[in-house]
Structure 1
Amino acid sequence: MTRPITFTPDIAARAIIASAITLGMDPVEACVSRSNPRRQPLAPAAAALGEVLQLDADRIATIFGVSLTTMKAHRTHPTRPFLRAKASAEDAIRYALRGVEIASRAEAKRDIAPPPEPTPPPTPRRFIAAALDEAMPPKPAPPVPVLSIGGRILAELGERPLSTIALSSVLGEKELTVTQALSVLRQEGQVAADQADDRGARHRLWRVAA
């Protein structure tokens, strides 16, 4: 028996994302923008969904907000970028369908729970946008702030007294930079220096002020 093929927000979102990535465009803007250039990923995605799911591509295009004139133009004179984006969307749809099939088999092995209360379906544009938000990779975490040279010096001196030369080596900074930072910290009363010996001021030990 042939497995029923369902047009779902998740599968639609994956098709749009694959199409947009191939075209080098933003999939979220493709769904929410009113600018035709930014909506280019939608037509290849609609065509791919129609072909792989064996559905009416024009009806899917209407859900996406793509005009039938645009779809007809792509069918009559398909461009190379359109065909590449359509092929990428088809691959994404087939990959998603394999996941749906595996999940369906796993669900069939469980006890059948009572069906949930039906909820009214969201508007087409909104459910696609919501699925896109879930399918898109998470944004990277904000960078951890780096301590200033003064803060790094205080952290090192908090563990043990060090000379200017030693601090320069430990911090990977120029000796002049360390010397200037120590001078500022000394004026602020945060560090103190031992008396210089015969080797000179560069070798005297600095420590956190008591």
Structure 2
Amino acid sequence: MIFGNRIPYEYFATSGKGESEAGSEGLKYETGSYDAALTDAGIEDCNIIEYTSVIPTHAKKISKEIGLKRINWGEAMECIKAQANGDKGEFISTAVLTTDVYDSNNKYLGGFALEYSGHGTKQDALASLSTSLKGLIERRGYGKINNSVEIFKNNATSKGYKIHPGKIFIYDSLKVTKQHGTVFCALCWVSHRYPGVKKNKTRKNKKKGI
């Protein structure tokens, strides 16, 4: 049997922040503050792999508590992640916002996650994510959101699609007091689905009855 590419299925939301005096000139954050942030988020014993921003149609959100119990030491964990690093005295912040997309017949198509990384407040992050959302939707041919994006509400596009941002919104921040600091927000996948692929019969295989 032939399987198609795996499709991310169950996921949970988390965030973490950490500080450290450790860090080398070329790697200021990775083995210190970033590791501390992973520990704060509960995923320190995973090997993190970053996705882009697409949430599959049938993806299912589970609680963080359940998700953390499913982790195996050293597993590869794929995440949609927004991360900010900073040095002593800096204020750093990150956010992840999901949006659901429906067609003109109100059929759910799937979702997206938008990431923010910077130095802003929660409201600053939402403003930035709203701008990002407009571009993401328009680039994919779903039409324009002509008015200001309303977070946590339905937004109509010029082509009749319905966009609902804010089903999940995670924001976290850190005022760095040690040499290095890291903060991140993430959607973390813990399972996948594998679609079957129908094998196209060639003329030779048809003769053989395969």
Bigger radius of gyration among the two: 1
**Bigger helix share:** 1
- Which TM-score applies when normalising by structure 1? 0.24
Q: Considering fraction of residues, name the structure with more strand.
A: 2
The higher relative CO (CA closer than 8 Å, separation ≥ 6) is in 2
